[in-house]
Amino acid sequence: MDETTPLRLFSSHFSEATQAGYAYPFWKARVALYAILQAIDIKEGDEVIVPGYTCVMDVNPIMYVGAVPRYADIDPDTFNADPDSVRALVSDRTRVILAQHTYGIPAPMEQLKAIAQECGAWLVEDCCLAIGSTYQGQEVGTFGDAAYWSFQWNKVFTTGLGGMATTNNAEIAEKIEAITAAEATPPSSQSALVLALQRLVHTGLIWPRTSALAREVFRRLSSLGLAIGSSDPSEFRPEMPDGFFTTMSEGQAKAGVKRLKQLDSNLAHRRKLAEIYSQLLRDKGWEPLATAEGHDPVLVGYPVRVQDKDRVLAQAPGKMVELGSWFESPLHPYETPLKDYGYEWGMCPAAEKACGEVVMLPTHPRTTEKDARRVVEFLTSSTKQAV
Ligand SMILES: Cc1ncc(COP(=O)(O)O)c(C=O)c1O
C-alpha cells in the first residue's frame, strides 16, 4: 500500500491510536474478522467460542469459513463472556476464542488468555464497541493475537461503515495482506459515493432529540435501496454473499483520519457522561453500572436493565428521548434465524435475560448533560430497574 494514500494514512494513524503494529482497513468490521480467520487458517469443522450475546454479523464470518460457533454465556454484571462458560465449551476442535469487549467494558482478558493458551487456541479480540478502553492499564486490542474494530454509524467514531483488522503478529499481518491482495475487491464507486452522501446527512441529523426519527427514515430508505444499510438482506443467513470481501473506500479512510483527530475529546466526553449517568441513576435509587477493579471502559452506550424494555423503547421516540437496544437477541437483531446459526434458545440464560432487559443510554459527543438528565428522568419515571 502506498504510504501517502488515505487508506495507508488512516491505517497508520489507527495503529498509533490503538498501539497495533499492523492495521488493515475494510468496508466493515465483519470483513476484517473474515480476513483474520482466513489468515489464521480457520477451516471447516474448527470451533470458535463466541459470546451468545453479540451481533449476528460477527458470527457470519465464522460460518463463511466453515467453522462452528460455540456460544458462551455472559457474566450478568459485565455483559462479557463468563470464563467458566468459555472453559466448559473447550474441545479438541477449539481453534479460536473470540473476546468481545461488550459496550466498551473490557472482557476478562487474563482468564480468557489463560484458557486460550491452555487449549492452544488463537485469542481474537472484538473491539468493535471498545476503542479507548483499557484493562489493567493496557489498551484493548493488544492482548490477543489479532483484533478487529468497527466504524459503523453507532460506534464510538464512524466512517459511515468501516472496519479495521489489527495485529502485533508479523506473520498474521503478512497473511492478512496477502489474502486481501489476492481476494478482496474495492467497493463500487456508486457504493462509495452513496456512503459519502450518507455521512454528510448523518452529521446533520444525529442529535439526541432527532436520532429516533433519523434512524427510521434511514431504515426506510435502505429498504427501498436508496441508502446503504449496515447490513444487506443477504447477510442475514450464514452463506457468504457475493462481494462480501471488500476493502475500505478512500472516502471512508479520509473520514477516519479526520474523526480520529477528535478521538481524545470523544473518549473524554463518553467517560464524563458515564460518570454523570451513574450519579443520576444513584440519585434515583437505581444501581449504576458496576466497574470491576482494573477495568477502565469507554462506553459506546451506557447499559441499564429495565423491567419493561419493549414499552420503554416504544415510548422513547415520542418523548424525543434517544435510547438504544443492543442486543435484542443472543445474535442481534431480533429477526436472526437462531437455528441456522446453531443457537438453541436456553443455551445462554444470562445473555437471553439481558436481551430482554438492557437499554442503552447515549454517550456520543452530541449528548449533553441536559440530555442525560432527560433520559434518566424518562427512564426512572416510566419503569423500574430489572435486577
Ligand atoms: C460486537 C460487534 N461486533 C461486530 C460487529 C460488526 O461490525 P460491522 O457492522 O462494522 O461489521 C458489530 C455490529 O454492530 C458488533 O456490535
pLDDT value, residue 70: 98
Q: Which of 188, 132, 130, 144 is nearest to 36 (CA)?
A: 144
User: Which 8-state DSSP code applies to residue 318?
Assistant: G
Query: Do 139 and 17 meet the contact criterion of CB atoms below 8 Å apart?
Result: no
Q: Which of 142, 160, 197 is nearest to 25 (CA)?
A: 160
Residue 112 CA, ligand 1 centroid: distance in Å: 20
Residue 87 CA, ligand 1 centroid: distance in Å: 24
The chain-wide mean pLDDT, for the chain, equals 94
Ligand 1 pocket mutation, candidates 55, 98, 161, 355, criterion most atoms within 8 A of CB: 55
Residue 285 CA, ligand 1 centroid: distance in Å: 33
Residue 181 CA, ligand 1 centroid: distance in Å: 23
Residue 284 CA, ligand 1 centroid: distance in Å: 33
User: From CA 17, how far away is CA 260, in angstroms rounded?
Assistant: 8
- Assess whether 43 and 154 both reside in one domain: yes
Is omega for the bond preceding 218 within 30 degrees of 0, making it cis? no
User: What mean pLDDT is predicted for residues 355-365?
Assistant: 97
Last-in-domain residue among 136, 154, 183? 183
pLDDT value, residue 119: 97
Residue 382 CA, ligand 1 centroid: distance in Å: 30
Sign of CA dihedral 341, 347, 348, 352: positive
Last-in-domain residue among 135, 162, 183? 183
Pick the atom of ligand 1 nearest to 31's CA. 11
Position 361 in a domain? yes
153 pLDDT tier (thresholds 50, 70, 90) = confident
User: What mean pLDDT is predicted for residues 270-280?
Assistant: 98
- Assess whether 219 and 301 both reside in one domain: no
pLDDT above 70 covers a percentage of the chain that reads 93
- Assess whether 321 and 208 both reside in one domain: no
Position 23 in a domain? yes
125 lines ligand 1 (CB under 6 A): no
- Assess whether 21 and 157 both reside in one domain: yes
Position 253 in a domain? no
Picking from 189-198, 283-292, 348-357, which range would have the lowest pLDDT averaged per residue? 189-198
pLDDT value, residue 109: 97
User: Which 8-state DSSP code applies to residue 30?
Assistant: H
Angle at 127 between CA 211 and CA 71, to 5 degrees: 100
Pick the atom of ligand 1 nearest to 57's CA. 6
Last-in-domain residue among 205, 240, 275? 240
- Assess whether 144 and 18 both reside in one domain: yes
Position 252 in a domain? no
Taking CA atoms only, the protein residue closest to ligand 1 atom 14 is 55
User: From CA 5, how far away is CA 257, in angstroms rounded?
Assistant: 11
User: From CA 35, how far away is CA 26, in angstroms rounded?
Assistant: 9
Q: Which of 81, 78, 79 is nearest to 70 (CA)?
A: 81
Position 10 in a domain? yes
C-alpha grid cell, residue 295: 477495568
Ligand 1 pocket mutation, candidates 34, 128, 155, 159, criterion most atoms within 8 A of CB: 128
The C-alpha cell 447477510 sits at 235
pLDDT in tens, 77-103: 999 999 999 999 999 999 999 999 999
- Assess whether 26 and 144 both reside in one domain: yes
123 pLDDT tier (thresholds 50, 70, 90) = very high
C-alpha grid cell, residue 182: 489476492
pLDDT value, residue 7: 97
Pick the atom of ligand 1 nearest to 161's CA. 10
Q: Which helix (H) or strand (E) is 373 found in, with range?
A: helix 369-382
Position 246 in a domain? no
Give the count of domains, the chain.
3
Position 201 in a domain? yes
Count of C-beta atoms within a 10 Å radius of residue 164: 28
User: From CA 106, how far away is CA 242, in angstroms rounded?
Assistant: 34
pLDDT in tens, 195-248: 888 888 777 666 666 666 666 766 777 666 667 778 888 899 999 999 999 999
Q: Is 74 exposed, middle or buried (0-12, 13-18, 19+ CB in 10 A)?
A: buried
- Assess whether 194 and 313 both reside in one domain: no
Pick the atom of ligand 1 nearest to 129's CA. 1
Q: What is the CATH number of the domain that holds 102?
A: 3.40.640.10
Q: Is 1 exposed, middle or buried (0-12, 13-18, 19+ CB in 10 A)?
A: middle
Pick the atom of ligand 1 nearest to 100's CA. 1
* Largest Cα–Cα separation, the chain: 57
Which residues, at least 6 apart from 248, have a Cβ–Cβ distance to it below 8 Å? 7, 10, 25, 26, 27, 159, 162, 163, 187, 256
- Assess whether 199 and 294 both reside in one domain: no
User: From CA 309, how far away is CA 319, in angstroms rounded?
Assistant: 15
pLDDT over 90 (residue 315)? yes
pLDDT over 60 (residue 1)? no
- Model confidence, pTM: 0.95
Position 247 in a domain? no
Residue 276 CA, ligand 1 centroid: distance in Å: 27
304 lines ligand 1 (CB under 6 A): no
Residue 283 CA, ligand 1 centroid: distance in Å: 33
- Assess whether 11 and 122 both reside in one domain: yes
pLDDT over 60 (residue 2)? no
Name the residue range of residue 280's domain: 263-382
Q: Which of 67, 57, 108, 138 is nearest to 291 (CA)?
A: 108
Count of C-beta atoms within a 10 Å radius of residue 266: 20
- Assess whether 142 and 208 both reside in one domain: no
80 lines ligand 1 (CB under 6 A): no
- Assess whether 70 and 218 both reside in one domain: no
Ligand 1 pocket mutation, candidates 64, 124, 152, 154, criterion most atoms within 8 A of CB: 152
- Assess whether 111 and 218 both reside in one domain: no
